[in-house]
């Protein structure tokens, strides 16, 4: 039983932060979960923790920038679980840098992982998801795909692209049994920010109307809804989970 009973989910970036929270919650709701990540050791730990709780999970090494790697992950999902019902494009990186400071290498890396990685994931999984029917894709964008800031030009560009790609994909797949929805996290406590100083932490909190950062589980609950059949009529939707930041 569970809200995702019978579902099989491939979650990119599932070894850490928001991906780990989604993998863990999805498994606890009855999904079989394939954790895809470049971090093999951490991915294996997430799988072990899920299995310890009686859930079904496996790890696959996935680099979202590589077509071959995606094809391998989808094949792995099909051979382990027999079908693929759910793709969560969650993997992503962040580094700061405005137009003056960002290098072209930094820009290319950001776009390759955060933007092209989502395209390649939807492309690799499309046939398997359509074959299953009653399937869905959840893309993780960012509040920074909706609003600007002075010093993260490549991140903004990559996450804004994910937003519109989700709309386009929802329309492309509307009659093909695949829903596509997008989540926009505000500031959530995960390793992605690296080490921030107490002053930076204070400044971030001051920007958030609800006064604090969120927890990974706050994002996972939104993703769970989109992935479940409760959202069977929901596609092309956008959910901000951000402590009223975007309000």
Place of tokens 């386009």: 168
Q: Is the dihedral of CA 204, 209, 215, 220 positive or negative?
A: negative
One residue of 25, 34, 64, 135 binding ligand NAD per CB under 6 A = 64
One residue of 4, 7, 13, 28 binding ligand NAD per CB under 6 A = 13
**Is-catalytic flag, 155?**
yes
* From 2-10, 63-71, 126-134, 173-181, span contacting ligand NAD (CB under 6 A): 63-71
Q: Is 142 exposed, middle or buried (0-12, 13-18, 19+ CB in 10 A)?
A: buried
- Please count the residues of this chain forming the interface with ligand NAD, following the rule CB under 6 A: 28
Which of 173, 171, 165, 122 has the alpha carbon at shortest distance from 141? Answer: 165
Query: Contact between 65 and ligand NAD (CB under 6 A)?
Result: yes
Which of 191, 200, 212 has the alpha carbon at shortest distance from 42? Answer: 191
Site string for ligand NAD, 82-121 (x = CB under 6 A): --------xxxxx------------------x--------
Query: Contact between 138 and ligand NAD (CB under 6 A)?
Result: no
The per-residue DSSP string of 51-82 comes to HHTT-EEEEEE--TT-HHHHHHHHHHHHHHHS
**Residues in touch with ligand NAD (CB under 6 A):** 12-13, 15-19, 37-39, 62-65, 90-94, 113, 140, 142, 185, 187-188, 190-192
Residues labelled catalytic: 155
């Amino acid at each position: 039983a569970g809200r995702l009973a019978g579902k099989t989910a491939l979650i990119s970036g599932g070894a850490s932060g928001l991906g780990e929270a989604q993998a863990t919650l999805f498994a606890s709701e009855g999904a079989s979960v394939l954790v895809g990540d470049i971090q093999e050791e951490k991915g294996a730990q997430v799988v072990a923790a899920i299995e310890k709780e009686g859930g079904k999970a496996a790890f696959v090494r996935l680099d979202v920038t590589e077509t071959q790697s995606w094809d391998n992950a989808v094949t792995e999902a099909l051979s382990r679980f027999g079908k693929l019902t759910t793709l969560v494009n969650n993997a992503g990186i962040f580094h700061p840098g405005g137009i003056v400071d960002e290098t072209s290498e930094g820009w290319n890396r950001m776009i390759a992982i955060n933007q092209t990685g989502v395209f390649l994931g939807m492309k690799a999984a499309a046939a398997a998801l359509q074959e299953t029917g009653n399937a869905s894709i959840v893309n993780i964008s960012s509040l920074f795909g909706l609003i600007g800031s002075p010093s993260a030009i490549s991140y903004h560009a990559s996450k804004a692209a994910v937003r519109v790609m989700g709309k386009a994909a929802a329309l492309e797949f509307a009659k093909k049994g695949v829903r596509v929805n997008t989540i926009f996290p505000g500031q959530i406590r995960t390793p992605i920010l690296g080490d921030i100083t107490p002053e930076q932490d204070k400044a971030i909190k001051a920007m958030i109307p609800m006064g604090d950062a969120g927890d990974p589980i706050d994002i996972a609950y939104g993703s769970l809804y989109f992935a479940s059949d409760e959202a069977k009529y929901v596609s092309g939707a956008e959910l901000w989970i951000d402590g009223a930041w975007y309000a």
